[in-house]
């Protein structure tokens, strides 16, 4: 079963070692990921991969996923994306 | 895993609380907490770190002050009437230069958004252990947990063991008085989570009082042979307490007890020394003083804390402290309630409730029984304040013995890590 957001949902904070994830409705079926991170230069690719994998596990479609990362661990990023998606359904 | 999820949830709750405060009070908001990795931040070290951050800021023009205590540990929220940029620079200065600053997190928010070091063109925070930017080491998990723990405990030990003897004693006394509040259940006493049987005090009042009285009591370190001088300092500390709390008795018993313990610890045989210092103390009962202890003596013939002092607090040194060395703080406190002749309890409850309470305290192995006993004490309006004072004295003894150890013993440091950081 596919998960398609019907409203904007967000989770997380802008604290150190956390991230703020916002899920918005996309006009088509694709999933677009925007990442801002305090460690983007060094870990941007890795973090984007974590976000992408989490979205795939959740069978997410038609979403714009914006992540503002303040140095969160993968575990935190994954948990925040999951909660934000839940809140957008 | 579940506890990590709770931590994330708690952080979201806090973000929304911060927003509410920012909306209600149109000033910069400063949030002070410990910056120590871990799943449950309710430990002695983390509590002292957060308090020291607050003490460093408390002279500012604070328009609103709030605290929370959760799995995230103790957190202070201060709405401060001060220009934002100078305020942020001051907070960074505390983080960089206070003896516990490296372990603090002092965040500044203005109209709901956080001001970062980068916003002021300042260098980002460095890692505890190397020169790398902190975010990078956290992300890469560069350092072993053991090394990080060691750094934290070492920083705390250096703070307590200051080369300045006044600072050393002030910090030990303050740690002892605040440390007592981390007991998970208060059985009527104030803890960081609730006010127990008291309607006129809470944890914040105790924390403020602990800071104020410790600053006076620390002067006593040079008078360990002079009972009259100790008593004079005790009176000054007591007056400072009443001024800070606007007349509430938070630490009167603790001041008396800790000043004597402090004097005793500086001699080879603390029990003998305290008992020598207090040889004439029962003459107090010939006077007309109206303290709780005096009234109980007149009513029941109980010599209370003075009687214990005359014996050099021998149970404290020979039985209570050794018990604490092998038990969690909750077990110790409960056991103390059953053992310690607590005149605060007698005073509040009379002899029959006092005896019932001591009996109940001895029959609570399971957590459920403990919670039931905690409820019962609150319903009865009882509060074992004398046992809480003993707990402070135990922590003071432990701190003193720790810093006086000749060599750095990895094993005793590790034991302390376990006790102070709450690591099982």
Give A3's DSSP letter: B
Distance from CA of B141 to the nearest CA of A (A): 9
Residue B332: predicted pLDDT = 93
Candidates B70, B36, B34; CA nearest to B51 is B34
Structure tokens at B214: 């410790």
Q: How far is residue B69 from each of residues B40, B172, B204, B387, measured CA to CA in Å? A: 11, 22, 11, 23
Residue B87: predicted pLDDT = 97
Chain B residues contacting A, CB < 8 Å? 4-5, 8, 11-12, 14-15, 35, 105, 107, 113-114, 124, 133-136, 138-139, 141
Residue B408: predicted pLDDT = 64
Would you say residue B421 has pLDDT above 80? Answer: no
A37 vs B326 pLDDT, higher one: A37
- pLDDT tens profile B208-252: 999 999 999 999 999 999 999 999 999 999 999 999 999 999 999
Contact B399, B177 (CB under 8 A): no
In chain B, which residue's Cα lies nearest the Cα of A79? B5
- Per-residue pLDDT band for B422 (boundaries 50, 70, 90) equals low
Residue B368: predicted pLDDT = 93
Chain A window 37-76: which residues touch B at a Cβ cutoff of 8 Å?
38-39, 42-43, 70-71, 73, 75-76
Would you say residue B407 has pLDDT above 70? Answer: no
Structure tokens at B285: 């009962």
d(Cα A63, Cα A29) in Å, to the nearest integer?
Answer: 7
- Per-residue pLDDT band for B24 (boundaries 50, 70, 90) equals very high
Q: Backbone phi, then psi, for B93, in 5-degree steps? A: -60, -40
Interface test with A, best of B15, B106, B139, B140 (most A CBs within 10 A): B139
Q: How far is residue B339 from each of residues B82, B169, B332, B373, measured CA to CA in Å? A: 50, 28, 10, 16
Residue B170: predicted pLDDT = 98
Contact A71 B138 (CB under 8 A): yes
Distance from CA of B139 to the nearest CA of A (A): 6
Q: Which spans in chain A are helix H? A: 40-57, 74-88
Rounded mean pLDDT, B342-347 = 85
Rounded mean pLDDT, B45-73 = 96
Would you say residue B273 has pLDDT above 70? Answer: yes
- pLDDT tens profile B353-393: 999 999 999 888 889 999 999 999 999 999 999 999 999 99
Would you say residue B1 has pLDDT above 80? Answer: no
Contact B135 A80 (CB under 8 A): no
Candidates B49, B25, B56; CA nearest to B35 is B49
Distance from CA of B12 to the nearest CA of A (A): 6
Candidates A67, A23, A63; CA nearest to A43 is A67
In chain A, which residue's Cα lies nearest the Cα of B5? A79
Q: What is the ipTM of this complex?
A: 0.89
- pLDDT tens profile B66-98: 999 999 999 999 999 999 999 999 999 999 999
Rounded mean pLDDT, B315-323 = 96
Structural domains in chain B, sorted by start: 2-140 (no CATH), 161-421 (1.10.4200.10)
Q: Does A9 touch chain B (CB under 8 A)?
A: no
Rounded mean pLDDT, B335-354 = 88
Q: Which of B15, B134, B139 sits opposite A43 (nearest CB)?
A: B139
Residue B424: predicted pLDDT = 40
Structural domains in chain A, sorted by start: 9-88 (3.30.230.10)
Structure tokens at B26: 């149109």
Distance from CA of A49 to the nearest CA of B (A): 15
In chain B, which residue's Cα lies nearest the Cα of A37? B135
Q: What is the dihedral of CA B389, B394, B399, B404, to 10 degrees?
A: 130
B140 vs B191 pLDDT, higher one: B191
* For chain B, percent of residues with pLDDT exceeding 70: 97
Q: Which of A14, A17, A83 sits opposite B138 (nearest CB)?
A: A17
- Per-residue pLDDT band for B409 (boundaries 50, 70, 90) equals low
* For chain B, percent of residues with pLDDT exceeding 90: 74
- pLDDT tens profile B115-169: 999 899 999 999 999 989 999 998 888 999 889 988 998 999 999 999 999 999 9
Distance from CA of B239 to the nearest CA of A (A): 41
Mean pLDDT over the full length of chain B: 92
> Which residues in chain B are closer than 8 Å to A38, comparing Cβ atoms?
124, 135
């Amino acid at each position: 079963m596919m998960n398609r957001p019907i409203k904007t949902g967000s989770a997380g904070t802008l604290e150190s070692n956390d991230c703020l994830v916002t899920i918005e409705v996309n006009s088509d079926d694709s999933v677009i990921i925007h990442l801002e991170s305090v460690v983007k230069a060094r870990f941007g690719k890795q973090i984007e991969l974590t976000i992408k994998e989490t979205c795939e596990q959740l069978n997410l479609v038609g979403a714009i996923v914006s992540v503002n990362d303040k140095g969160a661990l993968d575990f935190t990023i994954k948990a925040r994306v999951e909660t934000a998606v839940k809140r957008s359904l | 895993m579940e506890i990590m999820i709770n931590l994330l949830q708690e952080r979201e709750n806090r973000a929304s609380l911060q927003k509410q405060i920012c909306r209600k009070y149109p000033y910069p908001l400063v949030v002070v907490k410990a910056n120590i990795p871990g799943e449950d931040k309710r430990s002695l070290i983390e509590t002292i770190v957060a308090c020291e951050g607050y003490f460093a800021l408390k002279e500012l023009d604070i328009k609103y002050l709030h605290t929370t205590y959760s799995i995230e540990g103790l957190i202070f929220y201060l709405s401060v009437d001060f220009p934002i940029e100078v305020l942020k620079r001051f907070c960074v200065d505390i983080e960089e230069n206070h003896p516990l600053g490296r372990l603090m997190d002092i965040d500044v928010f203005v109209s709901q958004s956080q001001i970062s070091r980068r916003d002021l063109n300042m260098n980002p925070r460095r890692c505890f252990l190397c020169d790398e930017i902190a975010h990078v080491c956290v992300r890469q998990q560069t350092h072993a947990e053991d090394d990080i723990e060691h750094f934290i405990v070492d920083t705390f030990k250096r703070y307590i063991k200051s080369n300045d003897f006044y600072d050393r004693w002030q910090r030990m006394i303050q740690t002892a008085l605040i440390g007592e509040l981390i007991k998970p259940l208060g059985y009527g006493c104030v803890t960081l989570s609730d006010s127990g049987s008291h309607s006129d005090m809470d944890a914040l009042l105790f924390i403020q009082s602990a800071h104020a009285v410790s600053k006076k009591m620390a002067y006593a370190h040079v008078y360990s042979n002079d009972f009259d001088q100790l008593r004079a300092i005790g009176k000054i500390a007591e007056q400072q307490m009443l001024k800070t709390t606007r007349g509430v008795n938070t630490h009167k018993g603790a001041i008396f007890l800790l000043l004597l313990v402090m004097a005793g610890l500086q001699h080879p045989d603390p029990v003998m020394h305290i008992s020598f210092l207090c040889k004439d103390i029962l003459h107090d009962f010939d006077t007309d003083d109206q303290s709780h202890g005096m009234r109980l003596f007149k009513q029941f013939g109980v010599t209370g804390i003075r009687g214990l002092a005359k014996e050099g607090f021998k149970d404290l040194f020979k039985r209570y402290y050794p018990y604490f060395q092998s038990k969690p703080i909750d077990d110790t406190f409960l056991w103390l309630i059953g053992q310690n002749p607590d005149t605060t309890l007698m005073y509040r409850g009379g002899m029959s409730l006092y005896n019932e309470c001591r009996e109940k305290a001895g029959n609570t192995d399971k957590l459920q029984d403990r919670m039931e006993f905690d409820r019962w004490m609150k319903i009865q309006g009882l509060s074992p304040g004398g046992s809480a004072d003993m707990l402070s004295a135990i922590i003071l003894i432990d701190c003193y013995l720790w810093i006086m150890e000749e060599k750095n013993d990895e094993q005793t440091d590790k034991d302390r890590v376990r006790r102070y950081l709450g690591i099982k």
